[in-house]
């Protein structure tokens, strides 16, 4: 039996595709595809409504079969499902719907994250799209009715386009940002675009420091009227370097304007990449504290952050809550791994630091100003929660509200360790932890070195059930040790 999978993009079929269709005794496809081609009256038609049922009929055929599919059937398409059933099909692809969608917008898509929501929960798909500045989502029929994905993207401030019925007579591509409650037809591709934050907002903090000494000048000026005329001479020398600052600023919007004119207000394309979509793990993590703006060293230290990241397991499609985020160093690092990080912080000044740190590292995340549990209502459900700040009540509220699979907590006070462990165990988690105390190399006179000890920190992590790659809880370790101890059956 020969199965030929033919891609459809609205253009005329190739001679090879037409020949395969003419010689097929069984032709399967969505209703819209079957009516768009000429099928022999003698051929059996199978309308694909439930994939497994259609695959059963295709695989049971003893004569040549043709399967019609959208775009490139090897890209999130039916080819994989056929091969899983032991069928090696002949594939005649067309232009993929993702390529068509970006083409209609006049956008390149090497750096786009491509996601499929067919038969999948919307949560991980939405999290991955929110964490990436450019994403394409292949949707399923439920999205046309519920709008869960497009609503979530629009609520996060993304520019969202719906490319509907690409290649068909009813094709349309619309900016959903301009429509309050648009109806979207199936099939469609969602394109989500976000401007990558620029590290410009980091400038305002030092600026206020300049005006303070300036008012101090006028006070002595009235006291010495005669030397005042001598002051204007050096003053003109100051404005000359000042224009040098504004000149590079206008240079930023200029390259961005062609993209904005072509499709959207998205920032200019980044440097050319050899890797499509998500760029994988960052080149380095557990970054030095100096890489983040923080207040009075109130920041999770790099050595502690390394273990915290390992236990949180951030990545595309995962949502991480950073509760009591402080400067946001953990949230920013999670976002660098491709996770959708939500930083919850009650201090408005710290919220500003989180935004500036995210901009400095070029990542997208959500900052929620306020105190748990009130501000946790309505947030995307987390896969993991990190609590580096806040008291035990805040932690308990976050765990109850989020119901994450993983929880990671850092504590300085040994008095809190037992209470936190008991609370997490009582909530059904398997709890483990360690105490970290780093000693960093520091210089001595004459070029010698010493070790400068940092304050010890307790890192507690908890998981719902045993997860691969994570150590067992102390209770489980003790149970195993008891079973393998004296008198145990080998």
pLDDT tens series, the chain, 490 aa: 799 999 999 999 999 999 999 999 999 999 999 999 999 999 999 999 999 999 999 999 989 999 999 999 999 999 999 999 999 999 999 999 999 999 999 999 999 999 999 888 999 999 999 999 999 999 988 888 889 999 999 999 999 999 999 988 889 999 999 876 668 888 899 999 997 666 644 444 444 444 444 444 444 444 444 444 443 444 344 334 434 433 333 333 333 322 222 334 444 555 667 778 888 889 899 999 999 999 988 899 999 999 999 999 999 999 999 999 999 999 999 999 999 999 999 999 999 999 999 999 999 999 999 988 899 999 999 999 999 988 999 999 999 999 999 999 999 999 999 999 999 999 999 999 999 999 999 999 999 999 999 999 999 999 997 665 566 666 655 555 555 555 444 4
CB 293 within 8 A of CB 317: no
Q: How far apart are CA 414 and CA 19, in angstroms?
A: 76
CB 112 within 8 A of CB 28: no
Q: How far apart are CA 350 and CA 382, in angstroms?
A: 22
Tokens representing 293 are 């703006």
Long-range contacts of 110-113 (CB under 8 A, 24+ apart): 110/272, 110/273, 110/276, 111/269, 111/270, 111/273, 111/276, 111/277, 112/136, 112/276, 112/277, 113/277, 113/278, 113/316
324 CA to centre of own chain:
20
> Residue 272: what pLDDT?
67
139 CA to centre of own chain:
18
Tokens representing 167 are 């290649």
> Residue 179: what pLDDT?
75
- Dmax (CA) of the chain: 107
> Residue 142: what pLDDT?
83
> Residue 181: what pLDDT?
62
> Residue 482: what pLDDT?
56
> Residue 62: what pLDDT?
87
Q: How far apart are CA 197 and CA 58, in angstroms?
A: 49
Q: How far apart are CA 139 and CA 97, in angstroms?
A: 11
> Residue 214: what pLDDT?
43
Q: How far apart are CA 21 and CA 67, in angstroms?
A: 9
Q: Tell me the three state secondary structure of residue 157.
A: coil
CB 33 within 8 A of CB 68: yes
| Residue whose tokens read 């630091």 | 353
Residue 310, judged by CB atoms within 10 A of its CB (0-12, 13-18, 19+), counts as middle
> Residue 403: what pLDDT?
96
| CB-CB neighbours of 357 under 10 Å | 27
> Residue 438: what pLDDT?
93
Q: How far apart are CA 445 and CA 48, in angstroms?
A: 78
């Amino acid at each position: 039996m020969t199965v030929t999978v033919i891609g459809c993009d609205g253009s005329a079929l190739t001679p090879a595709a037409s020949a395969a269709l003419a010689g097929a005794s069984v032709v399967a496809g969505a209703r819209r595809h079957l009516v768009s081609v000429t099928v022999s009256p003698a051929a059996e038609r199978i309308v694909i409504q439930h994939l497994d049922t259609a695959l059963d009929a295709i695989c049971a055929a003893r004569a040549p079969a043709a399967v019609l599919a959208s775009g490139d059937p090897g890209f999130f398409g039916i080819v994989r499902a056929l091969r899983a059933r032991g069928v090696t099909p002949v594939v005649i692809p067309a232009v993929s719907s993702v390529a068509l969608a970006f083409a209609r917008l006049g956008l390149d898509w090497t750096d786009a994250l491509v996601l499929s929501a067919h038969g999948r929960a919307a949560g991980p798909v939405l999290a991955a799209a929110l964490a990436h500045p450019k994403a394409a989502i292949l949707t399923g029929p439920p999205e046309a009715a519920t709008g869960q994905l497009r609503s979530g993207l629009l609520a996060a401030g993304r520019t969202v386009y719906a490319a509907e019925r690409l290649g068909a007579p009813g094709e349309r591509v619309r900016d959903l940002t301009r429509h309050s409650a648009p109806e979207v037809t199936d099939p469609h591709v969602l394109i989500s675009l976000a401007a990558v934050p620029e590290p410009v907002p980091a400038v305002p903090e030092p600026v206020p420091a300049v005006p303070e000494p300036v008012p101090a000048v006028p006070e002595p000026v009235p006291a010495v009227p005669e030397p005042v005329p001598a002051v204007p001479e050096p003053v003109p020398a100051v404005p000359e370097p000042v224009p040098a600052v504004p000149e590079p600023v206008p240079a930023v919007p200029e390259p961005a304007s062609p993209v904005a004119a072509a499709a959207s207000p998205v920032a200019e394309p980044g440097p050319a990449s050899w890797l499509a979509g998500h760029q994988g793990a960052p080149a380095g993590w557990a970054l030095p504290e100096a890489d983040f703006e923080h207040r009075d060293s109130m920041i999770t230290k790099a050595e502690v952050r390394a273990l915290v990241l390992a236990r949180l397991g951030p990545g595309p499609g995962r949502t991480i809550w950073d509760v009591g985020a402080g400067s946001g160093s953990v949230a920013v690092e999670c976002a660098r791994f491709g996770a959708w990080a939500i930083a919850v912080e009650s201090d408005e000044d710290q919220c500003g630091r989180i935004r500036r740190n995210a901009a400095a590292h070029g990542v997208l995340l959500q900052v929620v100003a306020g105190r748990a549990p009130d501000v946790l209502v309505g947030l995307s459900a987390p896969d993991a929660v990190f609590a580096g700040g806040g008291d035990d009540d805040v932690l308990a509220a976050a765990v109850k509200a989020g119901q994450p699979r993983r929880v990671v907590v850092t504590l300085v006070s040994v008095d809190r360790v037992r209470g936190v462990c008991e609370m997490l165990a009582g909530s059904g988690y398997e709890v483990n932890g360690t105490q970290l105390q780093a000693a960093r190399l520091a210089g001595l006179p004459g070029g010698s070195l010493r070790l400068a000890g940092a304050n010890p920190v307790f890192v507690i992590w908890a998981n719902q059930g045993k997860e691969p790659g994570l150590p067992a809880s102390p209770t489980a370790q003790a149970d195993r040790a008891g079973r393998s101890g004296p008198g145990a059956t080998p």
